[in-house]
Amino acid sequence: MSLPLQLGLADALPDLSVPTRPTAWPDPELVLLNEPLAAELGLDAAALSDNAARWFGGGALPEHVQPRAWAYAGHQFGHLTPRLGDGRAALLGELMRSDGTPVDLQLKGSGRTVFSRRGDGRAALDSVLREYIISEAMHALGVPTTRALAAVRTGETVQRYRTTPGGVLARVASSHLRVGTVEYLAIQEDHDTLRRLVGLALDRHGTDGLDRDADHPALVLLEAVGRRQVRLVARWMELGFVHGIMNTDNTSLSGETLDYGPCAFMEATDPDKVFSLVDEGGRYAWGRQPRIVLWNLARLAEALLPIVDPDPQVAIPRAQAVLERLIAHQETAWLDGMRRKLGLQGVTATDQALADDLVAQLTRARADWTDSFRSLAEDLRHGRPALAGTIDGSWNTRWRARLEGQDPVATAARMDAHNPLYIPRNHLVEAALDAAIGGDFAPTRTLIEVLSDPFRAQPGREAYARPAPDGGQGHWTHCNT
């Protein structure tokens, strides 16, 4: 078996990537293989597992594979870096999903590239497995995301805040085009390539239902990316997910969650919650994510302005009109999500206040975000006051009045189908990673299995649904993993 790879987008945009050679790690060993995903991509899992350590460990790629590193720029914590690029990743090429849509196959942790700057080009095995666990959990939760195909242990150690085994993640994405890709071309003033990128990104990721001819293609792209991104972040908010490093280079054009670094799920409700040690100002806190995604989309708009119209007086108001529509789209996305979380059918003018009040009360009580919504459904099913002792009785009265005419058992079932019981809780992820560092991958495999079916109770696995004893307060994640 060989890898049926092609170089689609990278071939069509030759100025946006450079050839690179993955490092051949000394003793690569396959530790995880995502067999259902392999099958969906037309790969034979048995044949793949025979070769995965050599291919994904970079040691011996098939002759026809010509790996490349993408160039991109990015606003990191608000500051522009004009040249970032894949400093430790290699695009192997494109595979086809069974529905005929292409995906990028990329190795992360595959060694130095021309974009590495002072970095070592490597990834720690625990960070590789973290991305594997959390991205697959997000997929099972129905969140658009890049996916993990395989994890390899390299046989080398890497130096981080501690010395750990090295790893490589083989991941797939609808593409690795980012807001930072557009910014890179804008900085280069390469308007021809920028125009081509706009067309290719619309071909690849679609218009999100917009009429492609209704506006300038760059503005159609802005609105399509914007809609996907604001809906994505609304889903993150619903799940208590904190991405942790929402720089424009980590913001995909596809609308998939991209670049899992210091991310984690919030346990005790707290809009100011951050997990990343480097995010001292709380820029990427849970409750700030909706504002930040709009900020990132404003950077995308700026980068596209020169091809919309050479005269900024003409281009700016046109982009501004799109951004204003995206703000409205975001309000709708959040409120629709909260209606689903609360089992509300139809739309009433008081829904916003009902949702906002609940968030405020859960915040005051530092209640477990995930657990609270499962408890609400359980209370409804049993005709008990909602979250007694955590929130006040008047909220319960308003919620019940809003549910008037709805069958409580059916409503509770719909809530449970939308609000997960199992999320990648930090203490579970950390315990699995600690075991993996020590060579025992069984806890990681079990955790992945539990998280693949997040909405239904799994008998005997109650511990996986329980919050951390301290509400997860003590958990910190390390950047530059």
Q: How many CB atoms lie within 10 A of CB 349?
A: 6
User: Quick one: DSSP state of residue 288?
Assistant: G
Which one of 14, 26, 42, 119 is in contact with ligand AMP (CB under 6 A)?
119
Q: Is 243 in the site for ligand AMP (CB under 6 A)?
A: no
The partner in contact with residue 86, picked from Mg ion, ligand AMP, none with C-beta cut-offs of 5 to 8 angstroms by kind, is ligand AMP
The partner in contact with residue 128, picked from ligand AMP, Mg ion, none with C-beta cut-offs of 5 to 8 angstroms by kind, is none
Partners of 241 in the β-ladder: 265
Which one of 106, 154, 248, 250 is in contact with Mg ion (CB under 5 A)?
250
Rounded Cα distance between 310 and 177, Å, is 24
Judged by beta carbon, residue 121 or residue 424, the one nearer ligand AMP is: 121
Q: Is 288 in the site for ligand AMP (CB under 6 A)?
A: no
DSSP per-residue letters across 340-398: HHHT--S--TTHHHHHHHHHHHHHHHT-BHHHHHHHHHHHHHTTPPTTBTTB-HHHHHH
Judged by beta carbon, residue 261 or residue 420, the one nearer ligand AMP is: 261
Q: What is the identity of the amino acid at 325?
A: R
CB 21 within 8 A of CB 149: no
CB 265 within 8 A of CB 242: yes
Residues whose CB falls within 8 Å of the CB of residue 100, separated by 6 or more in sequence, listed in order: none
Helices 289-308, 191-205: axis angle to 10 degrees equals 130
Secondary structure class of 423 (helix, strand, coil): coil
Which one of 28, 240, 261, 454 is in contact with ligand AMP (CB under 6 A)?
261
Of the listed 104, 126, 249, 368, which one is catalytic?
249
Q: Is 86 in the site for ligand AMP (CB under 6 A)?
A: yes
CB 140 within 8 A of CB 148: no
249 included as an active-site residue: yes
CB 83 within 8 A of CB 160: no
Which one of 22, 28, 58, 85 is in contact with ligand AMP (CB under 6 A)?
85
Q: Is 86 in the site for Mg ion (CB under 5 A)?
A: no
Judged by beta carbon, residue 181 or residue 372, the one nearer Mg ion is: 181
Q: Is 183 in the site for ligand AMP (CB under 6 A)?
A: no
Judged by beta carbon, residue 303 or residue 386, the one nearer ligand AMP is: 303
DSSP per-residue letters across 59-87: S---TT---EEE---EEETTEEES----S
Q: How far is the CB of 244 from ligand AMP (least distance, A)?
A: 10
Partners of 307 in the β-ladder: none
Judged by beta carbon, residue 84 or residue 319, the one nearer ligand AMP is: 84
Which residues inside 121-150 make contact with ligand AMP, applying CB under 6 A? 121-122
Please list the active-site residues.
249
Tell me which residues touch Mg ion (CB under 5 A).
250, 259
Tell me which residues touch ligand AMP (CB under 6 A).
84-88, 115-116, 119-122, 245, 250, 259, 261, 480
